[in-house]
């Protein structure tokens, strides 16, 4: 029997969701509460990264994605600082509407006592603001500054610093903005408990707990710590290969997905790949790391900003529709012996065939912002063993999640891609004219095979 896509247990997912109310969660780099729901009709989720390049640390590209997996180039060489380098760029959107990046200003071989700042109104055109000298006595290097916006609205930067007496031993420090223009900063305060020889520290806050992910520079593993105060003391509770990510990993950055899971991105600099891994149980366990399509091997150390924006796909609910393949225009969804296939349907097709190609669109069973689909017998479209099929709703949370899909913009005008709610990055797509749920590989062919246009119902 075909194995289902790997995922945590459903009970684990439910516990995680219950523990992560949107009003109680703040993500590093975002000025407000996290978004843990499918975007409403007409809106879209948008993730943005601004990485420096494996081949060039003098400039950064801007990429965007609607699923935190398939990042597409928005602009190459979007920002080049007036002098020095740009590495480890961290992005957030401030309350004034501008996007800000902070970054390492020198290559790793050189002393670097400054961190850089730039801003943009549109994520594409950037203006250099200033280089800030971190005021630490005998500072040798200030690396990997990361934005963190606390639940009180304060804007902070976590920066890894070393001193001349031991230039390769880094300690994370907190800088807090003392004005809304982000031009003046408090004196640096070391994060107590994380200690020296840790770099690339990234924070999120859930409820009253601060969660830190930080690279141990001796073991080259990403470690995990918690604290009840921003400056600590932090308790490091996970060390070594505790999450199965391996060694020679750095640059951890977290973002919460639409279904409430947390996705960690990290730079596999030891093997030249960029990875992601998901957690549904407040960071206790993680999915096996997988390389990001498209940007892996090109992008280096980045953080992610998530927004809900206008211009997403629109699909009316409580109406009947047929669904036409975007790249095989004579073929449509059709239920055949409870399975969803993609046969040719024309005006000459039988009444039974037209009825089997007609579906009622309803609000998602697991998330009303998503979508579920009923056939003429009242059964729901769901995935099972990778295959798309129709079954009676058994009332369980497992079924509700299996039968819920999040709408993403398709490749053709008016077309939609349907992402599995409980397997992020897996999409309904056709293969040999059968509908399956497969993980996106980032290719144009996959995007076309997973794009379908809602049209007037055949029956």
Residues 434-451 pLDDT 10s: 999 999 999 999 999 999
Beta bridge partners of residue 264, listed in sequence order: 254, 277
pTM above 0.95, yes or no: no
Position 286 scores a pLDDT of: 98
As a whole-number percent, the residues of the chain with pLDDT over 90 amount to 91
User: Comparing 75-79, 105-109, 302-306, which segment has the lowest mean pLDDT?
Assistant: 105-109
Mean pLDDT to the nearest integer, 100-129: 96
Mind listing the pLDDT tens digit for each residue in 254-291?
999 999 999 999 999 999 999 999 999 999 999 999 99
H helix and E strand count, the chain = 4, 34
Write b or e for each residue in 273-285: b if 16 or more Cβ atoms lie within 10 A of its Cβ, otherwise e.
ebbbbbbbbbbeb
Instruction: Say yes or no to pLDDT of 106 above 60.
Output: yes
Mean pLDDT to the nearest integer, 100-111: 94
Position 125 scores a pLDDT of: 98
Instruction: Say yes or no to pLDDT of 244 above 90.
Output: yes
For the chain, the average pLDDT equals 92
Position 36 scores a pLDDT of: 76
Contacts for 101-109: CB closer than 8 Å, 24+ residues apart? 101/50, 101/60, 101/126, 102/145, 102/146, 102/147, 102/157, 103/52, 103/60, 103/145, 104/142, 104/143, 104/144, 104/145, 105/81, 105/131, 106/141, 107/57, 108/143
Position 35 scores a pLDDT of: 54
Mind listing the pLDDT tens digit for each residue in 1-21?
233 333 333 323 333 333 332
User: Comparing 24-28, 174-178, 220-224, which segment has the lowest mean pLDDT?
Assistant: 24-28
């Amino acid at each position: 029997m075909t194995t289902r896509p790997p995922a945590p247990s459903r009970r684990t997912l439910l516990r995680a969701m219950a523990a992560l109310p949107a009003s109680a969660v703040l993500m590093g780099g975002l000025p407000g509460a996290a978004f843990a729901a499918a975007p409403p009709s007409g809106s879209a989720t948008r993730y943005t990264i601004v990485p420096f390049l494996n081949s060039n640390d003098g400039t950064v590209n801007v990429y965007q994605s609607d699923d935190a997996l398939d990042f597409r180039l928005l602009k190459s060489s979007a920002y080049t600082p007036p002098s020095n380098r740009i590495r480890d760029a961290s992005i957030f959107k401030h309350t004034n509407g501008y996007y800000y990046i902070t970054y390492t200003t020198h290559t790793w071989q050189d002393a670097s006592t400054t961190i850089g700042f730039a801003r943009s109104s549109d994520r594409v055109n950037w203006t250099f603001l200033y280089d800030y000298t971190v005021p630490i006595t005998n500072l040798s290097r200030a690396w990997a500054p990361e934005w963190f916006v606390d639940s009180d609205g304060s804007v902070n930067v976590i920066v890894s610093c070393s001193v001349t007496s031991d230039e390769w031993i880094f300690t994370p420090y907190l800088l807090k903005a003392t004005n809304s223009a982000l031009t003046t900063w408090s004196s640096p305060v070391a994060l107590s408990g994380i200690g020296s020889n840790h770099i690339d520290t990234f924070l999120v806050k859930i409820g009253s707990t601060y969660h830190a992910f930080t690279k141990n520079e001796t073991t080259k593993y990403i470690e995990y710590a918690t604290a009840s105060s921003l400056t600590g003391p932090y308790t490091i509770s996970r060390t070594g290969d505790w999450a199965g990510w391996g060694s020679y990993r750095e640059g951890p950055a977290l973002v919460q997905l639409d279904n409430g899971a947390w996705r960690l991105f990290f730079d596999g600099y030891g093997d030249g790949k960029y990875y992601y891994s998901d957690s549904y149980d407040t960071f206790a366990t993680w999915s096996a790391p997988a390389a990001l399509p498209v940007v892996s091997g090109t992008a280096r150390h980045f953080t992610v900003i998530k927004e809900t924006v206008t211009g997403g796909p629109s699909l009316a609910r409580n109406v009947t529709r047929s669904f036409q393949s975007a790249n095989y225009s004579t073929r449509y969804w059709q239920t055949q012996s409870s399975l969803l296939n993609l046969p040719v349907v024309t005006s000459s097709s039988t009444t039974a065939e037209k009825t089997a190609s007609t579906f009622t669109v309803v609000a998602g069973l697991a998330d009303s912002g998503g979508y579920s689909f009923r056939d003429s017998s009242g059964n729901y479209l769901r995935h099972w063993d990778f295959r798309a099929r129709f079954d009676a709703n058994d009332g369980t949370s497992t079924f509700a999640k299996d039968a819920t899909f999040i709408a993403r913009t398709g490749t053709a005008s008016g077309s939609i891609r349907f992402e599995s709610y409980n397997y992020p990055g897996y999409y309904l797509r056709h293969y040999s004219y059968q509908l399956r749920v497969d993980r996106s590989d980032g290719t144009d062919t996959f995007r076309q095979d997973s794009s379908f246009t809602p049209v007037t119902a055949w029956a």
